Copies of this chain bind each other. A is one copy, B any other.
Amino acid sequence: MLIIVTYDVSTETPAGRRRLRRVARICEGMGQRVQKSVFECQVNEMQYEQLERALLAEIDEQEDSLRLYRITETAQLRVRQYGTYRSVDYEGPLIA
Main secondary structure of the interface of A (DSSP, over half): strand
Verify A84–B64 contact, CB threshold 8 A. Answer: yes
Given the known interface contacts A8-B35, A35-B37, the answer about A67 and B81 at a Cβ–Cβ threshold of 8 Å is yes
Tally of this chain's copies: 2
> A85: nearest residue on chain B (CB-CB)?
B65
Given the known interface contacts A35-B37, A72-B72, the answer about A8 and B84 at a Cβ–Cβ threshold of 8 Å is yes
Chain B residues positioned under 8 Å from A37 (CB to CB): 35, 37
Verify B83–A77 contact, CB threshold 8 A. Answer: no
Q: Judge if A70 is at the interface, Cβ distance under 8 Å.
A: yes
A residues in contact (CB < 8 Å) with B: 4, 6-8, 34-38, 52, 56, 59-73, 77-85
